[in-house]
Structure 1
């Protein structure tokens, strides 16, 4: 049996309508400002950074694509913090920064995957940890504490802002609508969808339950058009 063709790269992402980007941009503005404010609350005597750069990437995910499995609260918290910790450990263990950076990112991917908190900015946090390992205090307090403050502020803002603007966060998967009986619509089963995804062997940045509900909603729309055309 020949495998089904894989999807082409998406040419355009949809952000909930023409002004969907504005909702995400406004949320990122608020989230990053509050994350910075939390960072600035740390006494200057410790010379900690008031914001850690990967927070900007996390804000894009949290506010622009809050339904993404990569943008959920545990992904933001665990992905950033565990990756930074991995980077610090590798940075202290390996004295060659270039090798340490590559190994830290690779290990961070493995750790995030097994901890079920895959988060792309975690790769940047791993490199930040490697670079901070040469700091006077070894990077432990100069990276982990400000990063934790930034992440907690971002998560709190993301929870409040996304829910107030009609996007449940943590994301609640869409429930597939019941399909009409006695028609061709809804004849595929969830197992078919799982089998195709397994056959593609790709990591899709979408909840499978959302994908199933989307397909069934499209089927219902096509069925209504088909019925209208044949009346």
Structure 2
């Protein structure tokens, strides 16, 4: 029994989407993001101040989980990472400039960030944290924006390199499946509308998945 458990754990660790691949990717991506953040600090601020300026912001940890552990998610695509974090941060900074720092101002920043990300088609959960951080941060906006741009750039570059090198196209591409399905896209859209849920998978990926299942069942029969 212990041997089987260890074998199962090893199998889950390896492979194209094993947890080891995601963990190593997050390590490399965040290291690159932090290095770029330090470089920006050194370029923008005097030597005495660079060490106390932020070089990495906490929401990037959550962004790394999405990019490297679930790279097929619509929430983890490059535009979601860039647009979601940047637009949400700008929303938080705007609320910070216009309203006093209160619990309700932070809540308003996150609510508006969700609306902006949804309208811009770049919904990204760490964006909510960026909006809250920007709204409640006591310091000037420059260091925060500098760290954000450096971190996002490093994560996107690291995500593109690592995911593609380890066998997962990023940005994500829908798998091509041969053969007509037993349903139409209108059927799929109707079911999604009846469910009235936001699923963390694209309509196109659902279609490809259903087609692949149908093809497998047809072959077995």
CA deviation map 1:71-126 (0-9, x unaligned)? 01111011001101101111221214201110000000000011111000000000
Is the 8 Å Cα contact of residues 177 and 213 (structure 1) preserved in structure 2?
no
The answer on 1:48 being equivalent to 2:42 is: no
Taking structure 2 as the reference length, the TM-score comes to 0.87
The answer on 1:80 being equivalent to 2:85 is: yes
Structure 2 SS opposite 1:170: coil
Structure 2 SS opposite 1:173: coil
Give 2:147's aligned residue.
Answer: 146
CA deviation map 1:51-80 (0-9, x unaligned)? 000000000000001111110111101100
Taking structure 1 as the reference length, the TM-score comes to 0.83
**Matches of 2:101 and 2:147, distance apart in 1:** 26
Give 2:184's aligned residue.
Answer: 189
Aligned CA RMSD, in angstroms, stands at 1.3
- The count of corresponding residues between Structure 1 and Structure 2 is 200
Give 2:12's aligned residue.
Answer: 18
Give 1:199's aligned residue.
Answer: 194
More helix by share: 2
**Matches of 2:148 and 2:27, distance apart in 1:** 18
Is the 8 Å Cα contact of residues 70 and 117 (structure 1) preserved in structure 2?
yes
Q: 1:113 to 1:95 in 2, by over 3 A?
A: same
**Matches of 1:100 and 1:142, distance apart in 2:** 21
The aligned runs of 1:97-136 (5 Å cut-off) are 97-132=102-137, 134-135=138-139
For structure 2, list consecutive stretches of 5 or more residues without a partner in the other structure.
1-10
Deviation, 1:224, is 2.4
Structure 1 SS opposite 2:121: coil
2:65 is aligned, of 56, 60, 78, to: 60
Deviation, 1:157, is 0.5
Give 2:97's aligned residue.
Answer: 92
Give 2:4's aligned residue.
Answer: none
Deviation, 1:142, is 1.9
Structure 1 SS opposite 2:171: coil
Is the 8 Å Cα contact of residues 91 and 130 (structure 1) preserved in structure 2?
yes
Moved over 3 A (4+): none
**Matches of 1:97 and 1:85, distance apart in 2:** 18
For structure 1, list consecutive stretches of 5 or more residues without a partner in the other structure.
1-16, 180-185
2:214 is aligned, of 200, 216, 219, to: 219
